[in-house]
Structure 1
Amino acid sequence: MIRRTHSGTDRGMSIALTHVLTIGITTILIAMLLMSGSTMLDTETERSTQTSLETIGERLAGDIDNVDRIVADSDDTVTITAEQPRSVANSRYTVELRDDCSEEDASLLEESDSTACLRLTAQDVDVVVYVPVAVDGERIKELQSVRGGTIEIKYEDEDDGIELEAVN
C-alpha cells in the first residue's frame, strides 16, 4: 500500500489562496455597491431638483399672473417681489421669462392655451423645467434671464411689458 503525505507547504498555499480570493470578491462587491449607490444618489438629486424647480416656477407664474391682472385693471406701474431660494439641491439656477415657447420645448404647454412660459435651468445638475404662464406673450417685455433668489416682477407703463429683475 502506497501512502501519500501532504507536505506543510501545500496547506499553507491553500490558505493564502483562499484569503486572496476572499479579498478580491469582497473588493468587487463593495465597488459594485458604491457604484449603484452613486447612480441612485444622482437620480434622486435630479428628481429633487426637478420638483423644486417646478414648485418655484409655479409660484413665479402665479406672481406674474397677479401683476398681469393688476395691470389690466389700472395700467399703473406694478412691482411684486418674490422671495425664492438661491439654490435647489445644492445647485444655482436661472429663470427665463419667454414670450413664446414651442411645444417641443415644453410638454406642459400642450395642455395650456398660453405660449408664454418660464424656463428654469439648474446649473450643476442637468435639469430644465418649463412652466406655462397665463399671460399674453405680447405683454412680456423680451426674453429675460435672472438668477434664482429674490426676484422682482415689474410692469412699467412706459415700457409696456412685464419683466424680471434680480434683487441682490
Structure 2
Amino acid sequence: MSPARPRRPRSLGRDDRAVSTTLGYVLSLAIASLLVSGLMLAGGGYVETEREQVIRSELEVVGQTLVADVEGADRLAAAIDGTVSVRSALPRRVGSSAYSIELSDQGGGVTLVTLSAASVDVSVSLRLVTTTPLAEGRVEGGELVVVYDAADASPTLEVQTR
C-alpha cells in the first residue's frame, strides 16, 4: 500500500463550487423574462382583437335598435297627419369608445346606417327601408330623437341629438 498523499488546501481563486447555482439562477431569470415577454406580446394582440369584436357586436345591437326606432317613427308618420317624435335611448359609448352614426340615402327609400367607433377602426352598416323620406346626416351616439312634422314644406324623418 502506498502512503496517502496529503491533500492540498484549495485556494479561493480556483474554487468553482457555487458557480453552477448562480449560473442556473441567472439563466432561469432570463428564460422566465423571455417567456413573460412572449406571453405579453401574444396576449396583447388577442385582447385587442377581442375588444374589436365586442365593439362590433355592440355597434350591431345599437344599430338594430336605431333602425327599429326609425321604422316605428316611419309607421307612425304614415298613419297620422301631424307631428311624430320617437325617442331612441342609445348608449353614449360602446366598449369604452364613442361612436358616430351616419345616414346616407341609397335611393328608392333605402338608407344606409353606418355606425363607426372612434377609438378603433370598426364600423357596422345596416340597411333601413322607409316609406317616408329620411334626411341624411351624421350624429354622435347617445340619446337621439326621430322627428317628423307633416306641416313642413317637404316632410321628412330626421334623426337628431336630444
TM-score category (smaller protein): 0.7 to 0.9
Please identify which structure carries the higher strand content. Answer: 2
Q: Gaps spanning 5+ residues in structure 2: where?
A: 1-9
Picking from 125, 135, 142, the partner of 1:141 is 135
RMSD (CA atoms): 2.1
Q: Partner amino acid for 1:141?
A: A
Specify the SS of the correspondent of 1:126.
Answer: coil
Q: Gaps spanning 5+ residues in structure 1: where?
A: 102-112
Q: Residue 162 in 1 paired to residue 150 in 2? A: no
**Equivalent in the alignment of 2:144:** 151
Structure 2 CA distance for aligned equivalents of residues 76 and 127 of structure 1: 38
Between the aligned residues of both structures, percent identity stands at 29
Picking from 8, 17, 41, the partner of 2:15 is 8
Please identify which structure carries the higher helix content. Answer: 1
Structure 1 CA distance for aligned equivalents of residues 81 and 101 of structure 2: 25
Structure ranking higher on relative contact order (CA contacts 8 Å, 6+ apart): 1
8 Å CA contact 1:56–1:84 kept in 2: the answer is yes
Number of residue pairs matched by the alignment: 148
Task: Please state how far the C-alpha of 1:15 moved relative to its aligned partner.
Answer: 2.8
**Regions of 4+ moved over 4 Å:** none
Q: Residue 81 in 1 paired to residue 75 in 2? A: no
Task: Please state how far the C-alpha of 1:34 moved relative to its aligned partner.
Answer: 1.3
Structure having the higher Rg: 2
Picking from 30, 33, 46, the partner of 2:36 is 30
Specify the SS of the correspondent of 2:50.
Answer: helix
**Equivalent in the alignment of 1:120:** 115
Which deviations, in whole Å up to 9, do the C-alpha atoms of 1:83-103 show, x marking residues without a partner? 1111011001111122129xx
